[in-house]
Amino acid sequence: MPLGAGSVIFVDLWLKARILGAIMLEINFRKFSLIAVCFSFLLAGCAATGTKEDATASVRAAEATLTNFQNDPEMRWMRDHLKDARAVLISPRILKAGFVFGGSGGSGVLLVRGEGGRSWAGPAFYRLATASVGFQAGVDSSEMVALVMSEKALNSLLSTSFKLGGEVSVSAGPVGMGAGAPVNADMIVFTRSKGLYGGLNVDGTVISIDTAGNESFYGKPVTPVDILVRKNVSSPNAASIQRTLAGSAGK
């Protein structure tokens, strides 16, 4: 039976309402996503590296994190494969917080194995930020040690910024009873969480250069390429973490 004029108008209005609702939902989702991204970068900025003292304290905290992971009996896989890593990214504190929208952020330092594998260059300073949207509530603090296993991952770290899980594959490192499992990824990440969340997912994390941290630590504007490749800058405050990593990696 053909629809009357009133029915046609009703159907037309219903379709328009559905389309408008979908558009508004997409706009709201984009707004929440933008808020989450801003929130994650705000968390990344919480780890101050703006002065030489702050940057030096970050390096000491990173060294303590590396030592803690090395002494953890659950981290056997990491200890056994540290000798195979091209570089190591250490973050002593990554904050994760959220209520519906949220994110995680923190700072990290990168050290790169030298030629012959008997020395380490660095550290270079970085920031880490991840945005998330969805049901979540709470605050968490984690520490992280990431083994950089490929040249592709290392080259990405030398760029201005990049996202984990894109061209650079990332995998959670085996711990405990799973330490015998084979892992094949550009970066293998180990985390320890001390809060309401069960763990830290770094897939999608944006890693960017902490320009202020590098300048504060070395006393002049420098890039990760200056620090890790050209090696034309150094600091006496880097010697301790270099020795600790050399010892941990079996030199």
pLDDT, one tens digit per residue, over 159-217 is: 888 787 777 888 888 887 655 667 788 999 998 876 443 356 666 788 889 999 999 99
Average pLDDT, the chain: 76
Residues 6+ apart with CB under 8 A from 92: 58, 61, 62, 64, 65, 143
- Count of other CB atoms within 10 angstroms of residue 71: 9
Q: What is the pLDDT of residue 34?
A: 41
- 159: tokens are 């760029």
Q: Taking a C-beta distance cutoff of 8 angstroms, is the pair 247, 70 a contact?
A: no
Peptide bond into 2 cis (omega under 30): no
What digits encode the pLDDT tens for the residues 220-230? 999 999 999 99
Q: Taking a C-beta distance cutoff of 8 angstroms, is the pair 131, 33 a contact?
A: yes
Q: Round to whole Å and give the CA distance between 93 and 58.
A: 9
The model carries a pTM of: 0.75
The DSSP 8-state label assigned to residue 2 in this structure reads P
The DSSP 8-state label assigned to residue 227 in this structure reads I
The DSSP 8-state label assigned to residue 228 in this structure reads I
Give residue limits of the domains in the chain.
5-248
Q: What is the pLDDT of residue 44?
A: 43
Q: What is the pLDDT of residue 142?
A: 81
What digits encode the pLDDT tens for the residues 111-161? 999 877 778 999 999 998 776 544 444 556 788 899 999 999 999 999 888
* Overall size of the chain counted in residues: 251
